[in-house]
Structure formats: structure tokens, C-alpha cells
Structure 1
Amino acid sequence: MDEQSRKWMVLVSSTWIQAFTGTNIDFSSYSSNLKSVMEISQLQLNYLAVASDMGKLFGWCSGIFLLHSPLWIVLFIAAFMGLFGYGLQWLVIIRVISLPYFAVFLLCLLAGCSICWFNTICYVLCIKNFPDNRPLALAFSISFNGVSAALYNLIADSIQSGNYTLYLLLNAIIPLIISLISVLPIILHQPSNIQPLSSQAIRRDSLIFLFLNVLAVITGLYLLILDQIETTSSIARALLAGAIILLLLPLFTPWIIQTSSIGRGSPSSFNLIDMGNFDVHKELIETNEGINDGFLLEEKKEGCCDCVVEKDQLVMLGDEHSSKRLLSRTDFWLYYVSYFCGGTVGLVYSNNIGQIAQSLGYGTSTTSVVALYSACSFFGRLLSATPDILRDKMYFSRTGWLAMSIVPLPFAFLILIISGSKVVLCVATAIVGLSSGFVFAAAVSVTSELFGPNSAGVNHNLLITNIPMGSVMLGLLAAVVYDANIQGSSFLKAMFVGVETSMVCMGRGCYTMTFVVWGLLSMLGILSSWLLFVRTKHVYHLVERKRSSFIFY
């Protein structure tokens, strides 16, 4: 098997890792049970969700390990961290062992750290193996992290439907199994000096990515639609078998394209990423004597922009930024706020889906709502490849796409404030999933383009430090508002048999003020991302003009 074939096996392996390691997204499925077993308040439960997100504070550790250790060793370190973190929580929730609250907090932190390590591994795999098609590879791989909840729902239902404590056991074991399956192609393919691809190879890779994205859409629709169906264990097993087949199909797609006539046709008949784009990409980001080449801004246009827009603007894409230089740039902080008010708000919402659904009287539908968020997050991540797919037909800078992806968020929180119906809950959850999913996936490429690809590992970990910070601040707000409304919902709680009345808030008031604050923050995110777009669009447009000159001349 040649190097080009092995790199596709590595990409598919990264999608499997992503698909089965997004274990933090099913927290809402078992959070109510954990809360009841440990007899803790909503505020204390929120801190456990925060602990999982705080694992991202230690993402830089995985980068350091990858510099000094083989990738497969880092993969198994992540797997065993998850096994230990989730496994002991499972023993707590089934009452086999009893641990103090602080110990469970540390276990959640360890489990969250494992997720961050898995993500870093997948980023490195895509960046090393697909330097020419990096955004497409990243979008495809990262998108599968969004189907984790739906896959875990199917697995849990196929074993014992309605047993929510089972999720913790699955979270502990399945990532280790997937690591064992995925490690062989990772070990066999160690790219060292990847040569530039020919125009025919670029066209073939473009076709492969097109077909892979079609398969990804089919997989997402399959999991989204069928996961909403009430099933028995036998039916769930059949649906799970279908999902596994869909996850295996990308393994054969590159071979089919390479051996078929469509992979050997005229180079001009189809083109997503052409040779001109590749040349421009190389000229932008390849290192030359320690400094990345880029297209300097030839001329600064005069206009009516105020100092906020003009001050300290980027003059080229792909320029490497050290941590110190990054933290001194206005563009980074606009980007930081945009990510906080877009992706992080969506993540905090997903952590609270279980309590939101329960407070509105839809506690039995929690797993379906979580799966809906997961599936829509998957499609949002997949849509982050849109700027590259539509580049020749409709060019728009990636920061502009980022700004547009946050626009629907205020609407989602507005309709949740207005109505507490199940339809509104599902629609709002879908919007939040799509919007935040796009932000999560697009951010890796945006970080690489604005602040340098070689520094992306460190710089992106600096960016996502806002996730644990947001979990603390926004999650704390949600928990305080929730607990403050418990006393006022006694009558509603009494109507729900089997609900622990001392710990549960019922009614729309439990989250109304929280939705107001989240909605206002998302509007701030729109403003911040729009300013980032205005400040960076000139360098994107200059690069596009240079790319066009390569194509036509």
C-alpha cells in the first residue's frame, strides 16, 4: 500500500476517534442520576460539568508529549485517562463505591483532559497528512465528534434501554477499544517529507473529499432521524449495525475513486482545490528561514473606518505568531470573544440540556434532545468546509463565515424565552448545535490562517482556554438562577412523580434569565466577529486576487 493510500486510512481512523471520544456531550444523559446519587445541588452538578471542560486548560500537555513521544503512546495515555476517569464515576453512580465530591470533581477533570488529548491527536494527524487540503481534512474529521451522543444512545439502547448509568461505562471502555482499532494505520503511516502533489493527484483528492462529505451527510441524517425513534433493544442493535457500516464506508471510498474512471478523467472537468490554490497556499504558509512567507498588504486604503478597525491590522495571512505576540494583538481578542460568545455558549447550553428539558417537563426526552444537539453539531462542523468547497463560485473570507455562523444564536434563545414547548426546545437546540458546531470546526483553520499554521497547536489551546472560563461563569449563572427558582416551583414539582422535590426546579422560570444573558452574549459575539471580519477581509481578498492570477495566468 503506497503512502497516498495510507494517509486516507489515517484520516478515517481520526474520524473514528472523533466519533467515539466526544464523551462530554452525553453528560446531560446521566447528570440527573449522578445528581441524585451524590445528593448534590444544581450548583455542585454544574461544577462537575465545568471540571470536564477544564481539561482543555491542559491541552498544551498533549502537544508537549507529541513533541517527545510517538503519537500512538499519547493516544493510549488519553484512552487510559478516560478509562480511569469515567470508570470510577460509573462505580459511584451504581453505588459500588462512594467517593467524596472533590474526588469526583478530579475524575471529571481527568476525563475531560482525555477528550482534549484525543482532539489534539486528530488535529495533528490531519495537519501532517493533508498539508494541501488541511481545512477539508479538519472539517471532515472534527465533524464526527458531533455524532458521539447519537452513537452512544444507540449502543446504550442496544444493551439496556433506559439505563442512563450505562453511559459512564461506555464512555470509559469504548474510546480504549477504538484506540486499539485505530492505532495500526497510525503506526504504519509516519509522514516525514511529503512531496507536492501533481495536478491529477490534487483533483483526485478533491473528488475523494467530495464523496467523503456526501457519506458524512448520509451518516448524520441516518443518526439524526433514526435516533428519534423509540426502539427496542433488538431494533437498536440493527440500527447500530447500520451506523457502523456507514462509518466503515469511508475506508473504501479512496480506493474506489482511485481505481475508477472518474478518478482518471480530465483535470479540468472537476476542481475543488486546484494547482493555483495549492501554489498560493504554499507561498502563504511554508517557512522560509524561520519566517512564513505571505502576501504583504501592498496598499492601505484610506476610508472612514475608525481606529478600532484600523489599529494593528494583520498585513498577511500565515504569519507565525509567538504566544507573546498573539496576546498583544487586537484581532486575537476579538477572535477570543467571538469564540466565547459562539462556541462556548453553545457548549454550556449542551451541558445544561438535561436540566433544561427536565424543568420544562420533558425529562423522558432528554436523550433525544441531546442526540439532536449532537447531530446538528455534526452538520455544523461539516459545514465549516463550505468556504473551501464554494471558493471558486462564491468567495467569502473565513472570518466572514465565522461571523455569519453566530447570527442564529440570539434567535434560538429568544424563542426559548417566549415558549417552553417541546417543538421550540428542539428547534432551539438544533440551531445552537449547528451554530456552535460550525464555530468549533472553523476555529482550527481560522487560527492557522490568522496566526500561523506552525504555531496553531499552541495558539489554538490558548484560544480554547475560554471554554473552562465560560463553563465557570455561564454555568454558574445557570446554576444560581436554577437553584433560586426551586422554592417557587413546589407545586409543579409535586405533579411529577418520582422527581426529587428538594433538588429539582420545574417551570420556564428556571432558565428564563439564563437564556436572556446567553442571548445578549451571543449578540456581543456577532459584533466581535463582525469587527474581526472587517479587520481581516483585506488580507483574505488580497490572497484571493493572487490565487486568481495563478489560475488565469
Structure 2
Amino acid sequence: MCFMERHCRLTYEFDVLHEVGVYTKGFGTFFVLMIKRFVLCQSQMLVLQCIGSNSATWFNTAVLVTCMRNFPHSRGTVVGILKGFVGLSAAIFAQVYIALLAGNSTLLLLFLAVVPTAVCLASMLLVRPVPAVGNVRDSEERRNFNYITAVCVALAGYLLVITFIEELVDMEKYIPVVLTAVMVIFLVAPLAIPIKALSNECYGISPEDTSQAGMQEPLLKGECDSQTNTQPSNPPLMIREAATENAPTKEKSVQEIATSTQPDTGALDQEEKGKKVTQQEDVVEKLNQEEDDAETLLAVGEGAVKRSKRRPRRGEDFKLRQALVKADFWLLFLTFFCGVGTGVTVINNLGQIGEAQGYYNVNIFVSLISIANFLGRLGGGSLSEHYIRSDAIPRTVWMGVAQIVLIFVHLMFASALPGTLYVGSVLLGLCYGVHFSIMVPTASELFGLKHFGMIYNSLTIANPLGSFLFSGLIAGYLYDREAAKDSGSGTLTWGLGHSVVCTGAHCFRLTFYVMACVCSLGVVLTFVLTYRIRRVYIALYRKSPNPSASDLQSSE
């Protein structure tokens, strides 16, 4: 009986904590455990930690996919802003922890459980697909994104400055509160855009000259059709078929129109007559082709002809299983794996790297990498968006450039020259961030947005996989081997928990050489991928986009 009561009590406690974890991104569970209301075993803690860790992926996917569908012509900029704030969020919450929570870790867990959840509940009705309103607002959209980008850069610089100030200067208790209030002003500054749009709508002010007909899509399609007498550009199939039956043959109609409207050509030379005849033949051929297509579609609809489904081409909507059999998917996965895998290896081992080179306080390097990571994500998206619009340069070119820089960064770390850890941390953060702002829009442009959530999260597996392989296995093994050599030579040092500590530039030198080789492989794979998909970007982003099947055909 006592066993059953204890079992029921533990089951009830776990169910309560499970519900708390689901609705508070897992942090509510940790808060309840911190105040010692419940006691759980390790397996139950594992389940709750899994809920908390994966909650961020749900929010990330929902926001990212929705925003990319709402702004398909600014994918790089959108991804750069969203991914940049993911990297900057740690510094934002750290500032709140210092200024408002007075270093109380229990209150921090409560804050992380309540505030993000409340923000998500308040904004979930706003994060939804919104139909486009036409090309008239492209310039306004670009100005708005430039404004948000400027605010983001200013916020990153502000956080960097106050981080150094709080680290080096002893301040009164109220000063961090004031600094946090200024940070909040930066965070709410982008709200000026929807507020301005709402006020313009209320007062009937248009950002562009919307008096031109046909430039803006109406909210109700029937309203537009009732106010205009123009026929739609693509009438239904039955209407076209009826018009075809009541009209004379295409060849005769075109010839009659051409001869009735053609002026006296006695003064024209023979070359101009030939051009007019060629144009008339082109019109006849086009009309015949449209008639044949209409007959084919009608036959398919009646069941007389069965048309086999073709595989999607680049730029069309792929399902995950269709993308997994494409070489482009695996090339993109491997290039992303090489870049972020080597980058996260340095980030995970930054404490030991600094300690091995004689830096016992690595907080400055962590801050440099965090800020540079944000700037890399933001700048990589904006830079690729600019050049893809101006010259149709594939985004993957910039991923290859970032990996070339990473090769020199790893060699710089291996040399362990004075000051290289400072410069290398900045360059590493920039290049690491570029990979995220390039991979995401590239995947959407190659495989479409309909099933993008599944494809995107499948590609991001490269990040933890690279961390496990390069950081957990290769770097850890090589570090322990160098530490064992030190112990054999009488230079054994002990760290916290009685673990062996290796000191000297040789501790990670071989690891950095391996990382440089991996990045070299990534450069080769990146430019192979760029060569394969270059025609897709020419077809999508050239001045007169009219992509052909050969341009978008997926290579096996």
C-alpha cells in the first residue's frame, strides 16, 4: 500500500512538472525544482530537460518559416535578423540577470519561464502568413529592413560597451538598471514600423502613389472585379474553350487582323516585310500552342489522358523524402557541417584553449565571439541579399568565403602568437554566424517553402553532429593525448575535479590543423554546390526572370 501511494504521488508530481515544462519552455520545471517542491529521479529529469531544450526549436521554426513566407524577396535579410537575435539573446538575458534579478538564479528561472511564454502567447496570433500587397511596397519594405538592421547593430554595439563597463568598473546598484532600461528602448524601437503603418492607414496616408491602377492587390477579389470591366488575364478553361468554338480558326483570324490593320507597305523595304511576316507566324504558333494546351488540359480533366506526376525541380516545393535523394541537399548539409562543426568546436573548448595559452579569464573571448556571431548572421544575410539582387551571385559563395577565412583562423590559433586569440575570436564568430544566415535562405530557394520546416530542421542536425564528432571525439581525444605526454615529461597539472590540464600551444595545435583540413574540404564542396545551382539563381534573380526547365532541372 505504501508502495502504491508513493508510486501515485511520484506519477502525479511528474505529470504536474510535465505540464509546467510544456507551457513554460521547461524553465518552469527547473524553477519548481529549485524551490524544492518536488524531487525527481534522473530519468524524469532527462524527459523534462528534453522538453525544455526542444521548445526553442519549435518557436524558432514557426517564426522563421512564417517570416520567410511573408517576405520571400528578402529572405537573407529576414534570416539574418532572426538568427542574429538568437545569438544576441544570451547577452540580453545576462543584462537582465545582472540588473534586475540581483544575481538570484532561482528568480532567473522564474523569469525565463514566465516572460518568454507570455510574449509568445501575446504574439502568436500575429505570427501568421500575410498575403503580399504588390511590388509597390518593395522600396518601403527595404527601408524598413534597413531601419531594423541599424537598430540591431546599435543594440549589439551597446551591449558590447556596457559588458566591458560592468566588467571593469564598480558601479552603483541603480546604474545597471538604467543601462537595462536603455537596452529595452532598443528592443522596442522596431515597433515604430507597425505603429507608423497603422497611423498611415487610419489617416488614409499611403507610403507610395497608390492611385495607379493594378499596382496593389485588393483585400476582396470580387470587389475589384465588380468595379472594373476588364477581363482577368487567365480566364477559366471553359471560358477559353467557348471562345475558341465561337471564333474562327486562329490562322485565319491572325491573317485577317494583320492584313486589315497593315498599312500600305509599298515604301517598306524587303527586310521590314520579312520581320512582319515572322512576327505574324510567331503569333500564330503561340495561339496554336495555347489551343493545344487547352485541349490537353480538358482531356486530362475528363480522364481521357493520364498525365504522370513529374519530380519537382530546383526552386519548386520538395517534400523531405524528395529532398533527401538530391545531391544538392547533401552538398548543402556537408558544407554546413564542415563550417559550423569546426566553429562550435572552438566555442565549446574556448575555456581550455585560453587556459592552455595562459589566459585564465576567457570572458572577454566569449563576449567577442557572441557579438561577432550576431554581426556575422546579420551581415551575411544582408550581404548575400544585396549581391543576389544586383548580380545573381549564389548565396553559397559567401559560405565558401567564410570557410576560407576559417582556414586561416584555425592556423592562427595553432600558431598561438600573442594577440591571435583576440583577432581569431572575432573572425571565428563572424564566419560561424554567416553559415546560419546563408544555409537557411539557400535551402528555401532550392527546395521551396511548403515543407521548409522539415527540411530546415533536418539540415540543422549538422550543428550538434559536428559538435559531437569534432569537439567530443577528435578535440577531446587529442587534448587528452597531449596531456598524457605532459604527464610523462613531468609537467602534469591538475584542474578542478582532479582532471588533467594541458598547458602550452601544443595542446590544441593538431586539433586546429585537423579543423583547417575539414574547412578546406568544405570550401571544395561549397564551390561544387555553387557551380551546380548557379543557373537557378540566374533564372530566379535576373532582371527578366523567365526560368526554363533546363535551368531548374535537378541534377541527380
Tell me the TM-score normalised to structure 2 length: 0.66
- Aligned ranges 1:79-478 → 2 under 5 Å: 79-84=24-29, 109-158=50-99, 170=108, 173-174=111-112, 176-187=114-125, 189=126, 191=128, 194-229=130-165, 230=167, 231-232=169-170, 234=173, 235-256=175-196, 317-364=314-361, 366-383=362-379, 384-419=381-416, 421=418, 423-476=419-472, 477-478=474-475
Relative distance call for 1:191 and 1:337 in structure 2 (3 A) is: closer
Q: Distance in 1 between matches of 2:31 and 2:408?
A: 35
- 1:175 deviates by 5.5
Relative distance call for 1:195 and 1:471 in structure 2 (3 A) is: closer
Paired amino acid for 1:433: G
Q: What does residue 259 of structure 2 align with? A: none
Larger Rg: 2
Paired amino acid for 1:453: L
Q: CA offsets, 1:439-473, max 9 Å, x none?
A: 11221111111112112111112112222222221
Q: CA offsets, 1:192-237, max 9 Å, x none?
A: 6x44313333332221111111111111121223323324463433
- 1:124 deviates by 3.3
Query: Any idea what SS the aligned residue of 2:358 has?
Result: coil
Q: Distance in 2 between matches of 1:86 and 1:443?
A: 36
Q: CA offsets, 1:140-169, max 9 Å, x none?
A: 2221111123224323433689x7xx6797
Report if aligned partners of 1:82, 1:114 keep a CA contact under 8 Å in 2.
no
Which of 514, 518, 525 is residue 515 of structure 2 equivalent to? 518
Q: Distance in 1 between matches of 2:49 and 2:348?
A: 13
Query: Any idea what SS the aligned residue of 1:228 has?
Result: helix
Q: CA offsets, 1:373-403, max 9 Å, x none?
A: 1111111111112222344544412222232
Paired amino acid for 2:158: Y
Q: Distance in 1 between matches of 2:195 and 2:439?
A: 31
Report if aligned partners of 1:376, 1:430 keep a CA contact under 8 Å in 2.
yes
- 1:528 deviates by 0.8
Paired amino acid for 1:81: G
Q: Distance in 2 between matches of 1:371 and 1:225?
A: 11
Relative distance call for 1:484 and 1:458 in structure 2 (3 A) is: same
Q: Distance in 2 between matches of 1:238 and 1:527?
A: 50
Q: CA offsets, 1:236-264, max 9 Å, x none?
A: 33332222211111112343477689x95
Relative distance call for 1:168 and 1:515 in structure 2 (3 A) is: farther
Relative distance call for 1:267 and 1:344 in structure 2 (3 A) is: farther
Once structures 1 and 2 are overlaid, which stretch shifts more, 539-548 or 437-446?
539-548
Unmatched segments (≥5 aa) in structure 2: 1-18, 217-310, 548-556
Paired amino acid for 1:484: R
Once structures 1 and 2 are overlaid, which stretch shifts more, 484-493 or 504-513?
484-493
- 1:535 deviates by 0.8
Query: Any idea what SS the aligned residue of 1:445 has?
Result: helix
- 1:416 deviates by 0.5
Q: Distance in 2 between matches of 1:106 and 1:353?
A: 29
Q: What does residue 10 of structure 1 align with? A: none
Tell me the TM-score normalised to structure 1 length: 0.66
Q: CA offsets, 1:53-79, max 9 Å, x none?
A: xxxxxxxxxxxxxxxxxxxxx998374
- 1:515 deviates by 1.5
The structure, 1 or 2, with the larger RCO (C-alpha pairs under 8 Å, 6+ apart) is 1
Q: What does residue 300 of structure 2 align with? A: none
Relative distance call for 1:316 and 1:541 in structure 2 (3 A) is: farther
Percentage of matched positions with identical amino acids: 25
Q: Distance in 1 between matches of 2:353 and 2:426?
A: 14
Q: What does residue 19 of structure 1 align with? A: none
Unmatched segments (≥5 aa) in structure 1: 1-73, 269-273, 276-313
Query: Any idea what SS the aligned residue of 2:318 has?
Result: coil
Q: When the two structures are aligned, how many residues end up with a matched partner?
A: 420
